[in-house]
Amino acid sequence: MLIALLPGDGIGPEVVAEARRVLEALDLDLSFEEALVGGAAYHATGHPLPPETLALAKRADAILFGAVGDPTCDTLERPLRPEQALLALRKELGLFANLRPATLFPGLEDASTLRPEIAAEIDMVIVRELTGDVYFGEKARHITSDGRREGYDRMSYAEDEVRRIAIVAFEMAKRRERILCSVDKANVLETSQLWRDVVNEVAADYPEVTLTHMYVDNAAMQLVRNPGQFDVILTGNLFGDILSDQASMCAGSIGMLPSASLRAWSGENGMYEPIHGSAPDIAGQGKANPCATILSAAMLLRHSLDQEAAAQRIEAAVSAALVAGARTLDLGGTLSTRAMGDAVLAALN
Amino acid sequence: MLIALLPGDGIGPEVVAEARRVLEALDLDLSFEEALVGGAAYHATGHPLPPETLALAKRADAILFGAVGDPTCDTLERPLRPEQALLALRKELGLFANLRPATLFPGLEDASTLRPEIAAEIDMVIVRELTGDVYFGEKARHITSDGRREGYDRMSYAEDEVRRIAIVAFEMAKRRERILCSVDKANVLETSQLWRDVVNEVAADYPEVTLTHMYVDNAAMQLVRNPGQFDVILTGNLFGDILSDQASMCAGSIGMLPSASLRAWSGENGMYEPIHGSAPDIAGQGKANPCATILSAAMLLRHSLDQEAAAQRIEAAVSAALVAGARTLDLGGTLSTRAMGDAVLAALN
Ligand SMILES: CC(C)[C@H](C(=O)O)[C@@H](O)C(=O)O
Ligand SMILES: CC(C)[C@H](C(=O)O)[C@@H](O)C(=O)O
Whether B221 and B115 share a structural domain: yes
Q: What is the CATH number of the domain that holds B172?
A: 3.40.718.10
Query: How does residue A18 score in pLDDT terms, banded at 50, 70 and 90?
Result: very high
Whether A16 and A55 share a structural domain: yes
* Residue where a domain stops, chosen among A215, A235, A262: A262
What are the C-alpha distances in Å from B42 to residues A304, B49, B302? 53, 8, 32
Report the alpha-carbon distance of residue B256 to residue A67 in Å, rounded: 40
Residue A236: what pLDDT? 98
Burial class (CB in 10 A: 0-12, 13-18, 19+), A32: middle
Report the alpha-carbon distance of residue A270 to residue A130 in Å, rounded: 13
The DSSP result for A148-175, as a single string, is: -EEEEEEEEEEHHHHHHHHHHHHHHHHT
Per-residue pLDDT tens for A174-220? 999 999 999 999 999 999 999 999 999 999 999 999 999 999 999 99
User: Quick one: closest CA in A to B248, which residue?
Assistant: A221
Report the alpha-carbon distance of residue A208 to residue B57 in Å, rounded: 48
Q: Which ligand does the CA of A90 lie closest to?
A: 1
Whether B207 and B294 share a structural domain: no
Q: Please, are residues A180 and A217 in contact by the beta-carbon 8 Å criterion?
A: no
Report the alpha-carbon distance of residue B284 to residue A181 in Å, rounded: 28
Residue B254: what pLDDT? 82
Q: What is the mean pLDDT of chain A?
A: 95
Whether A191 and A248 share a structural domain: yes
Q: Please, are residues B201 and B170 in contact by the beta-carbon 8 Å criterion?
A: no
Report the alpha-carbon distance of residue B77 to residue A190 in Å, rounded: 12
CA B300 to chain centroid, in Å, comes to 12
What's the domain range around A67?
1-96+265-349
Helix (H) or strand (E) holding B128: strand B123-129
Catalytic: B74?
no
Whether A203 and A243 share a structural domain: yes
Number of H helices, E strands in chain A: 12, 12
Backbone angles phi, psi at A270, to 5 degrees: -65, 155
Whether A108 and A148 share a structural domain: yes
* Residue where a domain stops, chosen among A262, A289, A312: A262
Helices B159-174 & B190-203 angle (0-180, nearest 10) = 50
Instruction: Give mean pLDDT, residues A307-313.
Output: 97
List beta partners, residue B67.
B8
Residues of A in contact with B275 (CB under 8 A): none
Instruction: Kindly report the number of other CB atoms within 10 A of residue B303's CB atom.
Output: 23
Q: For atom 6 of ligand 2, which residue has the closest CA?
A: B241
What are the C-alpha distances in Å from B154 to residues A155, A157, A347, B85? 6, 12, 52, 20
Which residue of B157, B188, B245 is in closest CB contact with A217?
Answer: B245
> B306 among the known binding-site residues?
no
Residue A108: what pLDDT? 87
Whether A140 and A191 share a structural domain: yes
- Mean pLDDT by runs of 10 across the 349 residues of chain B is 97 98 96 98 97 96 96 90 96 96 88 92 97 98 97 98 98 97 96 98 98 97 96 98 93 89 82 95 96 98 95 97 94 96 96
DSSP 8-state code for residue B9: S
Backbone angles phi, psi at B184, to 5 degrees: -150, -170
Report the alpha-carbon distance of residue B25 to residue B169 in Å, rounded: 33
Burial class (CB in 10 A: 0-12, 13-18, 19+), A65: buried
Residue B177, CA atoms < 13 Å, CB-side half-sphere: 13
Answer whether A61 contacts ligand 1 (Cβ < 6 A). no
Q: Please, are residues B100 and B125 in contact by the beta-carbon 8 Å criterion?
A: yes
Number of structural domains in chain B: 2
> A283 among the known binding-site residues?
yes
* Residue where a domain stops, chosen among A262, A281, A313: A262
> A59 among the known binding-site residues?
no
Whether A110 and A222 share a structural domain: yes
A218 and chain B: CB distance < 8 Å anywhere? yes
Per-residue pLDDT tens for A321-346? 999 999 999 998 999 999 999 999 99
- pLDDT score of A253 more than 80: no
* 3-state SS class at A48: coil
Q: Please, are residues B176 and B236 in contact by the beta-carbon 8 Å criterion?
A: no
Residues of B in contact with A229 (CB under 8 A): none
Which residue of B151, B224, B254 is in closest CB contact with A246?
Answer: B224
- pLDDT score of A139 more than 70: yes
- pLDDT score of A83 more than 80: yes
Whether A132 and A223 share a structural domain: yes
Query: How does residue A265 score in pLDDT terms, banded at 50, 70 and 90?
Result: low
Residue B237: what pLDDT? 98
A238 and chain B: CB distance < 8 Å anywhere? yes
Whether B120 and B248 share a structural domain: yes
Whether B114 and B249 share a structural domain: yes
Q: A115, A122, A44: which is closest to A85 by C-alpha?
A: A44
